[in-house]
Amino acid sequence: MSWLVQSRLVNDPFSDPGVYLDFSYGRRAILFDLGDVGGLSSRELLRVSHVFVSHTHVDHVAGFDRLFRLCLHRPSPLTLIGPPGFAVQVEHRIRSFTWNLLDENSVDFCIRAMDYDGSRLVKAAEFHAREAFARRDREPPAFPEGIAWMEDEFKVEAAALDHGIPSLAFALREVLQVNVWRGVLGEMGLPPGPWLNEAKRAVRLGLPDAHMVTVPTEGSIRLGELRDRALRVAPGQAVAYVTDAAPHAENRAKILRLAQKADQLFIEAVFLERDRPLALASHHLTAWDAGAIAREAGVRHVTPFHHSARYLSEPDVLREELFESFDAADRAAMTG
């Protein structure tokens, strides 16, 4: 498979929630949530261009300081998107440090913070190092309803779930998936190599057939010819991230819409079904809920996380309950 992004949990399922989405062709990454990022190297964090924060409970945002500090010397901006009130919270966090050593000769690192209200971006602020991170209000980008970010090759859909407070869930959907028929490439006398990433990107961007793709040492080839013979184009992958959601019907309906047919669903499994009163009291899903939602949404792979520390002595039980629930329909079909 040649996905645009490779996704993985930042930490083990008992530690802070978060997913790292690594772009396979470039020096770039996206984060869903920003808890403890100790599991990521500085190099990995420096590639992060966008962070989507579900809500600002400390286990979802405590990694801000490390990321921010690392980025201070990089010229490319960092965009953070969170629930209503988020931009002001980011400002307060920045204000809690002293910036007298910054001036017009500093690297002009820029951090952008935006509020997403469940259907659109409603607020945006920018903070520049050369202005000692004074706040500048901006007009937020106007994306279609339900979309928190959009570029040529992917979009990030978002829904506001109820967690006592709003908690955003996200789904990155790639526009197209482009794979290479290696055998055909060989028959055409074309070498493998990084140039193929540029060709794939050109297909995802919908560039015209006449667009010339440069092939090192071989010259160039028309994009149309390369695509028709050596590339296989399919719908792109979807990676959904769902956390901190009360177990009720309204949340369930929103999650099902967002995660529909996702290739990969990362979903919280905080308590066992036998401890449902705890799940209700703290507005979290049980492992059984999470598995059932994953099954009903028709996702291909599901990964549980955000396990409660009360199960540390039996670390597999949440995972087992989730998969029992996820596979329940298959077994019913087999036996029935």
Binding site for Zn ion (CB under 5 A): 57, 59, 244
Least distance (Å) from Zn ion to the CB of residue 271? 12
* Rounded Cα–Cα distance for residues 275 and 286 (Å): 8
Kindly report the backbone phi and psi dihedral angles of residue 105, in degrees, each rounded to the nearest multiple of 5, phi listed first: -95, -5
Nearer to Zn ion, 167 or 237 (CB): 167
Nearer to Zn ion, 18 or 140 (CB): 18
Nearer to Zn ion, 56 or 264 (CB): 56
Least distance (Å) from Zn ion to the CB of residue 282? 8
* Rounded Cα–Cα distance for residues 33 and 63 (Å): 9
Nearer to Zn ion, 244 or 321 (CB): 244
For the chain, the straight-line distance linking the first and the last C-alpha, in angstroms and rounded, comes to 35
* Rounded Cα–Cα distance for residues 188 and 191 (Å): 9
> 265: which 2 tokens?
């669903």
SS3 (DSSP) at 36: coil
Least distance (Å) from Zn ion to the CB of residue 270? 8
* Rounded Cα–Cα distance for residues 30 and 73 (Å): 19
Least distance (Å) from Zn ion to the CB of residue 306? 6
Nearer to Zn ion, 47 or 307 (CB): 307
Longest dimension (CA), the chain: 72
- Nearest-CB residue to Zn ion? 57
Per the CB < 8 A criterion, the answer to whether 199 and 231 are in contact is yes
Least distance (Å) from Zn ion to the CB of residue 71? 24
